[in-house]
């Protein structure tokens, strides 16, 4: 009995120390948590400067064929860290912070349209010695991945499209309705409270993160507000439908049934545009399947890759 009491007391002390660390040093706590997640996923943080001056920060790990994963609007490379845990045993996984986001460069007076971003991603891939690649993309990242494939079809071996943006002929989403009726963008944040609302808006089942650590991420978004406003306009006005119609690249289209940002009916529209595609709809999931259900998302992707 004394041993049980002692162990319980020790665990209580440890839990109290962890909570104190999170509340007193949330930025350091977030860095520790991210480093632990990356380590479990076999990912290492790397940096590279391209000849044209582009500074990239990215995660890389695993062996095998290259798999390039592109995050969505307002996000960063760690959106793919947890799902990468199931992918690095099979592939060389590379996850960059896209230009304008995360730790990569944030040039102000440049073009951030998906076509320009796709060419930047291609330049990064070439700098890393990659000539042909499988690409996955979430939301805006999917829009960029599709643009990359349409511009360089012989270089892209397959596409993993997680609630991708750019198909605007589909039925209106809640995001579009709110913006139309109020002019407010539910994906943007100027305060900690607004960022918490963004997280709730894009995910039905978000992974747990203590509020002090979430607030650290909020301040990153708040500092990037003006640039993100410009980028969002360029993403939102870019339709990829004509660009990708008939694109024969193998594609797995995955959509969260509860997606509030991009209507789930978009999956059907995209499926018709891509003749060599298949669709998976995930019940009870929002806009970010790889964060909400990382294991399921990875299993579906691995099955897709094993099918050809």
Active site amino acids: 71, 139
Q: Is 201 exposed, middle or buried (0-12, 13-18, 19+ CB in 10 A)?
A: middle
Task: Give the C-alpha separation, 133 to 66, whole Å.
Answer: 5
Task: Give the C-alpha separation, 50 to 119, whole Å.
Answer: 13
What are phi and psi for residue 48, nearest 5 degrees?
-155, 140
Q: Are 290 and 79 in contact, with CB atoms under 8 Å apart?
A: yes
Report residue 243 CA to chain centroid gap: 22
What are phi and psi for residue 179, nearest 5 degrees?
-65, -40
Helix (H, G, I), strand (E, B) or coil at 187: coil
Helix (H, G, I), strand (E, B) or coil at 138: strand
How many residues are present in the chain?
308
The residue among 69, 88, 77, 82 whose CA lies nearest residue 164 is: 69
The residue among 85, 90, 96, 95 whose CA lies nearest residue 64 is: 90
E strand segments, the chain = 44-49, 55-61, 66-70, 92-96, 133-138, 156-162, 250-256, 277-282
Q: Are 101 and 72 in contact, with CB atoms under 8 Å apart?
A: no
The residue among 102, 39, 36, 40 whose CA lies nearest residue 69 is: 102
């Amino acid at each position: 009995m004394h041993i049980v009491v002692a162990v319980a007391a020790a665990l209580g002390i440890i839990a109290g120390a962890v909570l104190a660390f999170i509340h007193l040093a949330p930025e350091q706590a977030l860095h520790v948590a991210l480093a632990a997640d990356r380590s479990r996923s076999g990912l290492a943080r790397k940096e590279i400067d391209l000849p044209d001056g582009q500074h990239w920060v990215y995660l890389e790990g695993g062996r095998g064929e290259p798999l390039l994963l592109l995050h969505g609007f307002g996000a960063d490379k760690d959106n793919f860290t947890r799902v990468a845990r199931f992918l690095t045993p099979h592939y060389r996984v590379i996850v960059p912070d896209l230009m304008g986001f995360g730790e990569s460069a944030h040039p102000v007076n440049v073009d951030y349209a998906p076509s320009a971003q796709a060419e930047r991603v291609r330049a990064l891939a070439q700098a890393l010695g990659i000539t042909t690649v499988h690409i996955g993309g979430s939301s805006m990242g999917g829009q960029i991945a599709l643009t990359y494939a349409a511009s360089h079809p012989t270089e892209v071996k397959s596409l993993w499209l997680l609630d991708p943006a750019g198909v605007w002929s589909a039925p209106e989403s809640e995001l579009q309705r709110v913006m139309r009726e109020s002019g407010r963008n539910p994906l943007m944040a100027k305060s900690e409270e607004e960022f918490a609302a963004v997280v709730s808006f894009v995910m039905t089942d978000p992974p747990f993160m203590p509020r002090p650590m979430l607030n650290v991420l909020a301040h990153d978004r708040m500092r990037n507000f003006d640039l993100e406003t410009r980028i969002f306009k360029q993403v939102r006005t870019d339709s990829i439908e004509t660009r990708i119609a008939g694109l024969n690249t193998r594609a797995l289209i995955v959509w969260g049934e509860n997606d509030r940002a991009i209507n789930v009916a978009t999956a059907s529209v995209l499926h018709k545009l891509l003749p060599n595609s298949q669709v998976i709809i995930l019940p009870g999931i929002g806009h970010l399947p790889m964060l909400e259900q990382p294991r399921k998302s990875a299993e579906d992707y691995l099955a897709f890759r094993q099918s050809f």
